[in-house]
């Protein structure tokens, strides 16, 4: 074999190993749980990737997360943080619904603090996620209030926050939960408050659409519903007094929805 052949074989082997790892830590784990009858409980749908502390620390690396989102990560976060700068948050509270990998949480908290927010609530159903997030947010502890809570049915009162950030959560949820989570996200918003929801979107170019379809089928079986039956904008605009703006990125492969509660 030539040096080029060895290089190609090494690259393919590496990609296969990475793919096997992510499959085992995501959909593969759910298939095993289902076979063992363990898909019960409010957090049974959560991948080990988001619940096992060793896996969380291994994968939560900015270059890895940026690559998974095709290097659109920073752009998507910027849409959210720039949008927050146009909200009057003085003395008000901001909610982050579900922890997220990468630097989105520090950036959102910094933007909220600069806009005058009094507190940023961080809610997640997994305690390990909250513990990990608090390490990343050590510089902003005076602003942070961690909450172990379920996005499907939150303990927060109606209209208790002025901004709510949800970063790539919906595609991981069983379809039965998606509408409930969106409804809760709006319920906890004060009048005039905004929900910033970042997610995957149906790409325009056919090749990218085909690759995305394969990705979802293999790794994220709940994600394809965002293309049609559970389009977040459709779910949101079905609620009285909610208007939406959709911002697309990378040939329509990603979206940031800004929903306003009138």
Closest CA to 22 of 63, 65, 62, 70: 65
pTM of the model: 0.94
| Phi-psi category of residue 166: left, alpha or beta, with phi > 0 → left and psi -120 to 50 → alpha | beta
Phi, psi (rounded to 5 degrees) for 201: -145, 160
The answer to the question of residue 17 being in a domain is no
72: domain range? Answer: 61-261
DSSP state of 82: H
For 82-133, what is each residue's pLDDT tens digit? 999 889 899 999 999 999 999 999 999 999 999 999 999 999 999 999 999 9
Which CATH number belongs to the domain containing residue 184 in this structure? 3.40.50.150
The answer to the question of residue 120 being in a domain is yes
Q: How far is CA 184 from CA 145, 156, 239, 245, 256, in A?
A: 19, 9, 11, 19, 18
How high is the pLDDT of residue 1? Answer: 58
Average pLDDT of every residue of the chain: 93
For 216-255, what is each residue's pLDDT tens digit? 999 998 999 999 999 999 999 999 999 999 999 999 999 9
The answer to the question of residue 213 being in a domain is yes
The answer to the question of residue 216 being in a domain is yes
**pLDDT above 90: residue 37:** no
For 136-185, what is each residue's pLDDT tens digit? 999 999 989 999 999 999 999 999 999 999 999 999 999 999 999 999 99
The answer to the question of residue 12 being in a domain is no
Cα gap 167→198, rounded to integer Å: 5
Give how many domains the chain has, as a whole number: 1
The answer to the question of residue 30 being in a domain is no
Residue 136 vs residue 12, higher pLDDT: 136
Q: How far is CA 45 from CA 35, 59, 171, in A?
A: 14, 19, 12
The answer to the question of residue 90 being in a domain is yes
The answer to the question of residue 121 being in a domain is yes
Cα gap 222→30, rounded to integer Å: 12
């Amino acid at each position: 074999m030539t040096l080029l052949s060895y290089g190609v074989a090494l690259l393919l082997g590496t990609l296969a190993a990475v793919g096997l790892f992510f499959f085992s830590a995501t959909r593969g784990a759910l298939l095993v749980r289902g076979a063992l009858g363990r898909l019960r409980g409010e957090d049974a749908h959560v991948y080990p990737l988001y619940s096992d502390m060793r896996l969380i620390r291994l994968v939560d690396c900015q270059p890895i997360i940026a690559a998974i989102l095709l290097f659109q990560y920073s752009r998507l976060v910027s849409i959210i943080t720039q949008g927050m700068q146009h909200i009057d948050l003085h003395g008000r509270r901001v909610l982050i619904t579900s922890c997220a990998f990468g630097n989105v949480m520090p950036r959102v908290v910094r933007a909220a603090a600069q806009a005058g927010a009094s507190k940023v609530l961080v809610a997640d159903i997994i305690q390990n996620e909250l513990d990990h997030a608090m390490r990343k947010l050590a510089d902003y502890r005076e602003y942070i209030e961690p909450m172990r809570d379920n996005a499907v049915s939150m303990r927060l009162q109606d209209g208790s926050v002025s901004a709510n950030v949800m970063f790539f959560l919906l595609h991981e949820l069983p379809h039965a939960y998606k509408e409930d989570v969106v409804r809760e996200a709006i319920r906890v918003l004060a009048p005039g408050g905004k929900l910033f929801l970042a997610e995957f979107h149906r790409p325009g170019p056919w090749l990218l659409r085909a690759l995305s379809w394969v990705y979802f089928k293999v790794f994220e079986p709940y994600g394809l519903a965002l293309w049609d039956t559970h389009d977040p904008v459709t779910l949101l605009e079905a609620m009285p007094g909610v208007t939406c703006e959709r911002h697309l990125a990378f040939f329509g492969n990603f979206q940031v929805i800004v929903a306003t509660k009138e």
